[in-house]
Structure 1
Amino acid sequence: MTVTVPDDVDAVVYDLDGTLVRLTVDWRTVESEIAAVLRDADVDPSGLDAWAMLDAAEDAGVGSEVESLIAAAERDGARDARRLPFADEIETRLPIGICSLNCEQSCHIALEKHDLAERMGSVVGRDSVPERKPAPEPLLAAAEELGATPERTLFVGDSAGDEEAAERAGTQFAYVGDGPTSY
């Protein structure tokens, strides 16, 4: 599980869910609730996951309602989040931060719960900047808040979307564990 921080790095940014903690979100229930909102807006949610449904909701003008549903589930899930073993291996010599697809408030809740908040120099969630991962803007915002350039930032995550965000932002990347997770 250990990630080696290269010598040419000035800051480390971590994904949150699946990397440092595991939020307990019942995504099936959330997707069912989102699907109901989409059907009410005359949008067919068939075959869409929560993130594609959020995109469809934004296009249909009901994005804020769907965002509220997702954020509420994430905040609840953060209160019951489980600390993952890698949380004990976070960088201690360099500035560190979070770049997450979860809403910012849920990140703060989970970090506080597991005594990780004070170490974080930056917390960027899905709703912190106009774009969300795998767009590069959230990761670039986290690196900037830590005073690092993208090329001297290491992003550590658990998903292919994290790797894509790092590539698009021009940061270095490392998987926590053996490669992308299935979630």
Structure 2
Amino acid sequence: MTLPDLSAFDAVVYDLDGTLVDLRVDWNDTARDAAAVLRDAGVDADSLDLWKMLDAADEAGVRDELEREIAAHEREGARLSDRLPLADLLAEDGVPSGVCSLNAEDACRVALDVHDLSDHVDAVVGRDTVATQKPDPEPLLTTLERMAVGPDSAVFVGDSARDEVTADRAGIAFRYVDGGPSGV
């Protein structure tokens, strides 16, 4: 694995899953349990993916319940997660660092704790921290704000085209953790 060269930047924001760790989440079980939450609210979710379920939960007024269900799966996956090589760079880079993720903030924090990375991270923004999610730039810009760092001196490191689009929309440099995009 070839890690990105981040030495030209004064701060780094990392995606979490697929970048610093691999969360061991059974997404099929998560979707099944999320669909049950929606069915209980009178919503037919059988044909919806998790992202569309979140939208449907907003419309049905059960977003908080659905978030709790998904986050529970993510927290368990975080406890069982595997540390990836870039996590070693995070622990050693000596610059302000943050995490901006599509996972729930508390699941991010569990993964960081499990892998002894929490002391190296200055800000964590998850799917449920702000009102929007990647590829909207708000989560990434909020991470930088909490780090007291401007977009011009930082880089966002991720594993997907969605991460790259987020960085572009936020006006921040981007590097893939390894290779190229794995999907939006």
CA deviation vs aligned residue, 1:46-90 (integer Å, no higher than 9, x gap): 442212211111111111111110011111111111111221222
CA distance in 2, matches of 1:115, 1:42: 42
Measure, in 1, the Cα distance between the counterparts of 2:37 and 2:96.
Answer: 41
- The answer on 1:2 being equivalent to 2:6 is no
> Which residue is 2:16 aligned to?
16
Q: Which runs of 4+ in 1 moved over 4 A?
A: none
Match of 1:45 in 2: 45
CA RMSD of aligned residues (A): 1.7
| TM-score between both structures, scaled by the size of structure 1 | 0.92
In structure 1, distance between residues paired with 2:95 and 2:13: 10
Query: Is 2:162 aligned against 1:167?
Result: no
TM score, norm. by length of structure 2? 0.91
CA contact (8 A) 2:14 2:157 kept: yes
- Paired residues for 1:20-99 under 5 Å: 20-90=20-90, 92-99=93-100
Q: In 2, Cα distance between the equivalents of 1:144 and 1:36? A: 37
Question: What is the distance in 2 between the residues matched to 1:47 and 1:158?
Answer: 27
SS at match of 1:98: strand
Equivalent pairs, count: 182
Aligned mates of 2:150, 2:126 — CA distance in 1: 19
Three-state SS of the structure 1 residue aligned to 2:122 is strand
Q: 2:178, 2:63 → 1: CA distance?
A: 34
Q: Distance in 1 between matches of 2:169 and 2:183?
A: 21
Residues in 1 aligned to 2:86 and 2:10: alpha-carbon distance in whole angstroms: 20
Query: Cα distance, 1:121 vs. partner?
Result: 0.9
The corresponding residue for 2:130 is: 129
Equivalent pair of 2:167/2:173 in contact (CA under 8 Å):
yes
- Worse overlay, 50-59 or 33-42: 33-42
> Offset at 1:30?
0.9
